[in-house]
Amino acid sequence: LFARECEFKWGAAAQGDLPPQGLPEVAFAGRSNVGKSSLVNALTGRKTLARTSHTPGRTQQLNFFDLGDRLSLVDMPGYGYAKESKEKVAAWNDFVRSYLKGRVTLRRCCLLIDSRHGLKPIDLEVMAMLDNAAVVYQLVLTKTDKLTRQALNHVHAATAGALKKHPAAHPEVLFTSSETGQGVPELRASLAALANP
């Protein structure tokens, strides 16, 4: 699946801009700076994916990338950027909520969590939004190369524990590092299972 070209297809900044539903979709979400661009680049081998972290508030759109005719990857803008106005955050939340609720082709959301920080209140808010929209989501710990084995066990136990209260969540928490490639094959395999044959 990931051997093929990953092609930018569409950017949507409001509900009216969404592309027609077609391929199965997997969305990637997480706090700003969680390592989302790096992980998506590691997954696809693509080096040119827009890096939102360096221009917070500017690239506020859902970006759709197609892997041939099998799967669409949806890059969601990082949330939790402190300097955003309340109005902008509210408008953005409305758009994201409507996308999540109305998208029949959305198979899963990968919710990225920085393994150094664990689940923050804003992550729990996003999980509640996903529960409410009945979107299956999977927690993916990022930057695991920065932690000791013991610290990773600790964050894993805490995240897995929090998941018990969230029935829409996939029970497995993945460990990943874009730096070392840890967990990248496992994440690819779990996404391949959601793609068109």
Q: How many residues does the chain have?
A: 197
| Interface region with ligand GDP, contact rule CB under 6 A, candidates 7-15, 30-38, 132-140, 159-167 | 30-38
Residue 34 is a binding residue for ligand GDP (CB under 6 A) = yes
Report the nearest approach of ligand GDP to the CB of residue 80 (Å): 11
Token pair 């999540």 is found at 100
Q: How many residues bind ligand GDP (CB under 6 A)?
A: 19
Nearer to ligand GDP, 32 or 93 (CB): 32
Q: Which is nearer to ligand GDP, 56 or 68 (CB)?
A: 56
Examine residue 190 and tell whether it contacts ligand GDP (CB under 6 A). Answer: no
Q: Which of residues 124-183 bind ligand GDP (CB under 6 A)?
A: 142-143, 145-146, 177-179
Which position among 23, 25, 27, 35 is part of the footprint of ligand GDP (CB under 6 A)?
35
**Nearest-angstrom CA–CA distance, 146 and 10:** 34
Instruction: Answer whether 9's CB lies under 8 Å from 101's CB.
Output: no
Closer to ligand GDP by Cβ: residue 138 or 142 = 142
Query: What string of H, E and C letters represents the secondary structure of 62-126?
Result: EEEEEECCCEEEEECCCECCCCCCHHHHHHHHHHHHHHHHHCCCEEEEEEEEECCCCCCHHHHHH
- Name the residue whose CB lies closest to ligand GDP: 53
Give the integer Cα–Cα distance in Å for 177 and 159.
17
Q: Which one of residues 2, 26, 27, 33 is an interface residue with ligand GDP (CB under 6 A)?
A: 33
Q: How far is CA 34 from CA 40, 120, 133, in A?
A: 12, 12, 23
Task: Give the separation between CA 176 and CA 36, rounded to whole angstroms.
Answer: 11
Q: Which stretch binds ligand GDP (CB under 6 A): 13-21, 32-40, 132-140, 162-170?
A: 32-40
Among 23, 26, 43, 53, binds ligand GDP (CB under 6 A): 53
Do 5 and 47 touch, CB atoms closer than 8 A? no
Contact 68, 4 (CB under 8 A): yes
When asked if residue 113 is in the footprint of ligand GDP (CB under 6 A), the reply is: no
Query: Which residues bind to ligand GDP, rule: CB under 6 A?
Result: 30, 32-38, 51-53, 78, 142-143, 145-146, 177-179
